[in-house]
């Protein structure tokens, strides 16, 4: 008979990994959860103004060719001892670091 501690350890490790992945893709502002796919106005409505903002124009590529340009925005929110950077492509939130 196998020892039940090993499967429990594997399950707990997997759950911890899933929880960490979820935490990296979201930000809590009060009672609201900010997640990838939201717009800049939604984030502003829930979180208020960020501590800092940067903006840069980025080339859009298809293979080796530049086929256009897009705007990338990074908003930094600081709360307690945590700093989160929200990255927007045009108006859509694409990542939370």
Query: How is the chain classified by DSSP, letter by letter?
Result: ---THHHHHHHHHHHHHHHHHHHHTEEEETTEEEETT-BHHHHHHHH-S-SEEEEEEEEEEETTEEEEEEEEEEEEEEETTEEEEEEEETTEEEEE-
* Beta bridge pairs of residue 56: 72
Per-residue CA distances from 1 to 48, 49, 56, 96 (Å) = 57, 58, 60, 45
Q: Which residue has the tokens 């897009």?
A: 70
What residues make up the domain containing 13?
5-96
Name the pLDDT band for 4 (thresholds 50, 70, 90): low
Name the pLDDT band for 81 (thresholds 50, 70, 90): confident
Is the confidence at residue 22, as pLDDT, over 70? no
Task: Please give the tally of structural domains in the chain.
Answer: 1
């Amino acid at each position: 008979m196998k020892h039940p501690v090993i499967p429990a350890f594997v399950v707990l490790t997997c759950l911890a990994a899933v929880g960490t992945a979820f935490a990296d893709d979201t930000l809590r502002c009060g009672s609201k959860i900010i997640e990838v796919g939201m717009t800049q106005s939604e984030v502003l409505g829930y979180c208020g103004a960020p501590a800092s903002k940067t903006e840069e124009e980025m080339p859009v590529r298809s293979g080796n060719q530049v086929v256009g340009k897009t705007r990338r925005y990074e908003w930094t929110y600081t709360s307690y001892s945590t700093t989160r950077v929200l990255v927007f492509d045009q108006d859509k939130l694409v990542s939370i670091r």
